[in-house]
Chain A
Amino acid sequence: MTDTSSAYDRPLPVPVHEDLSKPFWEATKKHELIMPKCNSCSSIFFYPREACPECTSMDLDWTEVSGQGRVYSYTHVRQAVHPYFQSENGHIYAIIELLEGPKIPSNILECEPEDIFVDMNVVATFEDLNDDFTLLKFKPGP
């Protein structure tokens, strides 16, 4: 039910896979970031869907992306809703706009909350929770 993460030093919820997004989480286990890509109109999108949100084509594939992006916006969660996330200094919840376009929720590690800013460059990093789950996170990057 719970797993231990060194970043928070406390049990963390882990995502429940569904078939549609399973490849995403299988890739993070290999420390790869992949996104759904439409073979008809070439759009790369997030979140995973059965049909392309641009052209409704169902001819879709997964493509590996650079992992580079910028902080589109963020909040510094001081009062967590769930006790597993409550900590003295809170944590950063951010939306990362990837170089390839899609925006994806995550946390930012290896950076003091006060040093984070909108448009800061970040790069993907991977947090292995256990043998079954690896979370996508971001850290300051080029």
Chain B
Amino acid sequence: MESLRYKTAIVGASETTELGNIPDKTPFQLHVDASVNAIKDCGIDKKEIDGIATTMNPVALAHYLGITPKWIDNTQVGGTSFLIHVRHAAAAIASGLCDTVLVSMAESGKSRVGQSSNSNFSDSSLEGLRDSSFPGQFESIYGVYGPTTQFGLGVLRYMKETGTTHEQLASVAVAQRKWSNKVPRAMYRDLITIEDVLESRMICYPFHLLECCLVSDGGGALIITRSNRANNFAKDPVYILGTGESAETPIVSQMYDMTSSTAFKISSKKAFEESGLNQSNIDHLMIYDAFAHLPIYGLEDLGFVSRGEAGAFIEQGNTSPGGSLPMNTNGGGLSYTHTGMYGMFAIQESIRQVRGEASNQVPNVEVSFCQGVGGMFMAAASLIFTNSPPD
């Protein structure tokens, strides 16, 4: 099959008007806000949008916005879904299924507006812990449920095998706060030290509070179209150079190797191959960071450093402001925002950096790599963006 390299471009990109604590808006209202913002961002006539992808019911959103699509995608594999939507949209546009796609994401992760609260168990209910699913039968009965208690399960083995230290794990949060320090929309901006991280409340050893993502409300949307019409909009196009996706396990305890993400390796390799680039060509990197170990796993599984080197690489400042590989420059899920499915926000920061309009702009970004994770190492996707026009 022909490569997707340079076939499509992002022409519109925006987050919700507000971000963080939005107690008065349902997820649906946030979807509409983000979508309208993205439409305004590129100045497109809404009638030109003929494809829609989202994790909510795409029919409901399309009809609400007055869009009658020729193409829909409802892939829902956790927070990386929006990277996968971009990939699927690029393939659909390149093969002529449609011309211009809206990808929309929104969550009321903190305020939980309009949702029955199934993540906050009450003493009177065991619902959600009693079911015949694999987690219901074999995991939750041992006192775990969801990311805080399960996502980091492999880390102590990773640390033993590689010699990675608690200080290095903590340095992920420290490095990202250096970025968010200059990002007005970031939820947490105060600089922190490794001691601050290690002295914060222990949530689930070895993870302290500051090594876990925050919880927020918000959303974002993207408009993708053919590269050969991408110059007709308000801002310079951000071309899609490479894409990849993969899936590993619905059950984190049954990963093939708990010290490495197979899905990260497969999706990133595919994206690099498609783009014709390698790690040395990447000016800016986003790695979905629900917890502090994800950028460590990501740097290794994406091939930016060798096995066991990522902790020291981050601790030495290579991913911090002024470092050789600026990473998670919005502050990431640890400091910027994390509504539950963070992938859209990683994409948005890649786009801002490539456009040159980020709050904490890295000089001369031509190529940005964006890595997403879905669920707990359940699925993954990779996107490579550039502002450099095709030859």
Cβ B141 vs Cβ A12 within 8 A: yes
Cβ A80 vs Cβ B149 within 8 A: yes
From B138, B139, B143, give the contact of A77 (CB < 8 A). Answer: B143
At the interface with chain B, which of A29-37, A55-63, A100-108?
Answer: A100-108
Cβ B138 vs Cβ A76 within 8 A: no
At the interface with chain A, which of B98-106, B200-208, B222-230?
Answer: B200-208
Main secondary structure of the interface of A (DSSP, over half): mixed
Q: Which of A73-100 contact B (CB under 8 A)?
A: 73-85, 91, 93, 95
Once A and B bind, how many residue pairs between them come within 8 Å at the CB atom?
Answer: 127
From A17, A81, A84, give the contact of B132 (CB < 8 A). Answer: A17
**In the complex, how many residues of chain B place their beta carbon closer than 8 angstroms to a beta carbon of chain A?**
43
- Of all chain B residues, which has the CB nearest A74? B156
Cβ A15 vs Cβ B137 within 8 A: yes
Binary contact track B161-187/A, C-beta < 8 Å → 1, others 0: 000000000000000000000000000
Cβ A47 vs Cβ B251 within 8 A: yes
Known contacts A18-B137, A75-B204; decide if A91 and B132 are in contact (CB<8 Å). no
- Of all chain B residues, which has the CB nearest A14? B141
User: Nearest-CB distance from A3 to chain B (Å)?
Assistant: 10
From A12, A72, A104, give the contact of B138 (CB < 8 A). Answer: A104
Cβ B130 vs Cβ A74 within 8 A: no
Binary contact track B191-228/A, C-beta < 8 Å → 1, others 0: 00000000001111111000000000000000000000
B144 CB contacts on chain A under 8 angstroms: 77, 81, 93, 105
Given pairs A13-B130, A113-B205, A119-B160, 15 additional interface contacts (CB within 8 A): A18-B132, A21-B137, A46-B254, A72-B258, A75-B153, A75-B156, A75-B204, A76-B205, A79-B202, A79-B203, A80-B143, A81-B146, A82-B145, A84-B129, A105-B144
A: residues with CB less than 8 A from B are: 1-2, 11-18, 21, 25, 46-47, 72-85, 91, 93, 95, 103-107, 113, 118-119, 135
Shortest beta-carbon contacts, A-B, top 6: A76-B205, A85-B143, A73-B157, A18-B132, A13-B129, A81-B145
Q: List 28 A-B contacts (CB under 8 A).
A: A2-B126, A12-B141, A13-B130, A14-B130, A14-B141, A16-B137, A46-B254, A47-B138, A75-B149, A75-B153, A75-B156, A75-B206, A75-B207, A77-B144, A82-B129, A82-B140, A84-B126, A84-B129, A93-B142, A93-B150, A93-B153, A95-B154, A103-B253, A104-B138, A105-B142, A106-B142, A107-B143, A113-B205
